[in-house]
A and B are shown apart, each in its own frame.
Chain A
Amino acid sequence: MTLLHLELLSAALFAIGLYGFLARRNAVLLLMSVELMLNAVNINLVAFAVFLDPARLLGQVIVVFVITIAAAEVGLALAIILRLYRNRSTANVDEIDLMKW
């Protein structure tokens, strides 16, 4: 197991998440894709922290913060999606174009 393996894995996971974010239309699925991308970044951070700078735990600390912010983001985003669904009875991001000009 080398650093390169983990980097390639995280790159692949990030690409999958990016594809999901660009191609899907359901707002909840977009949120799941963002979670995939965040996890890819976390894998990279942990791999760098463990293999490049084991003395300082900078990467692991940042991963803890990323997970915290991701949890906050999920809660808030799902509340917004619920509210949108209640007002417009759709979770399709193509039909949510209130602020589009």
Chain B
Amino acid sequence: MTPSLIALAFLAALALGGGLGVVISRNVVYAALFLLVSLGAVAGLYLLLLTEFLALVQVLIYGGAVVIVIVFALMLTRLQDFAKTRDHHQWPLGLAAALAVLGLLAATFVVFQPAVHPLQSTGIQELGNELFVRWALPFEIASLVLLVALIGALIISRADRGE
């Protein structure tokens, strides 16, 4: 067992355990906290893969923004209604579908194993170059999408006059 393998096992346990907590937990607030654990473990995974910038983005966007927004939404839609949520009665079908997808993906990954390069750190400069030169136009479009989504969210959730 190399140190990186031990770290990977630890982070994988955190990510999968958090994910299971999200889908199994009865209490929605606990589910949101489990989601935070899972997303944090994924950030650690990015660090392990020597992609530091993505780890930073993951912590900032997911840990900082997405989970906070979800918790805010839970607070705004009355919490006591959410304390006990029930699953859909067809959940065994969902479990079967999920297991089928897992089996298919795992079989594919085990069968097709391409040759790999050794792990090496990618400089933040190269990533910046790639993002702002080669992918400049998609980057700008993504920012436009964010702006439109923000304005849309504001308009949708704004209280009507006289409400």
Q: Is the CB of A7 within 8 A of B153?
A: no
Question: Across the interface, do B120 and A54 meet the contact criterion of CB distance under 8 Å?
Answer: yes
B residues apposed to A, CB below 8 Å: 2, 4-5, 8, 12, 15-16, 19-20, 22-23, 28, 31-32, 35, 38-39, 42, 45-46, 48-51, 53-54, 57-58, 61-62, 65-66, 69-70, 72-74, 76-77, 81-82, 85-88, 90-91, 93-95, 97-99, 101-102, 105-106, 109-110, 113-114, 116-117, 119-120, 122, 126-127, 130-131, 135, 138-139, 142-143, 145-146, 148-150, 152-154, 156-157, 163
Tell me the count of chain A residues lying within 8 A, CB to CB, of chain B.
Answer: 71
- Least distance between A42 CB and chain B CB atoms (Å): 7
Q: Which residue of B lies closest to A63 (CB)?
A: B54
| Cβ distance A82 to chain B, nearest Cβ, rounded Å | 5
Distance between Cα atoms of A78 and B154 in the complex (Å): 11
Asked whether A28 and B122 contact (CB < 8 A) given A8-B109, A9-B15, A52-B114, the answer is no
10 nearest A-B pairs in the assembled complex, by CB-CB distance: A22-B94, A20-B23, A72-B149, A15-B102, A19-B98, A79-B153, A11-B105, A23-B91, A7-B109, A16-B19
In the assembled complex, which residues on chain B have CB atoms less than 8 Å from the CB atom of A28?
A: 28, 70, 73-74, 77, 82
A94 touches B88 (CB 8 A): yes
Residue contacts A-B, CB under 8 angstroms, 8 given: A1-B8, A4-B110, A23-B87, A26-B28, A50-B50, A72-B148, A76-B156, A78-B69
Q: A96: which B residues are within 8 A, CB to CB?
A: none
Name A's interface SS: helix
CA distance A1 to B35 in the complex (A): 24
| B16 near A24: Cβ-Cβ < 8 Å | no
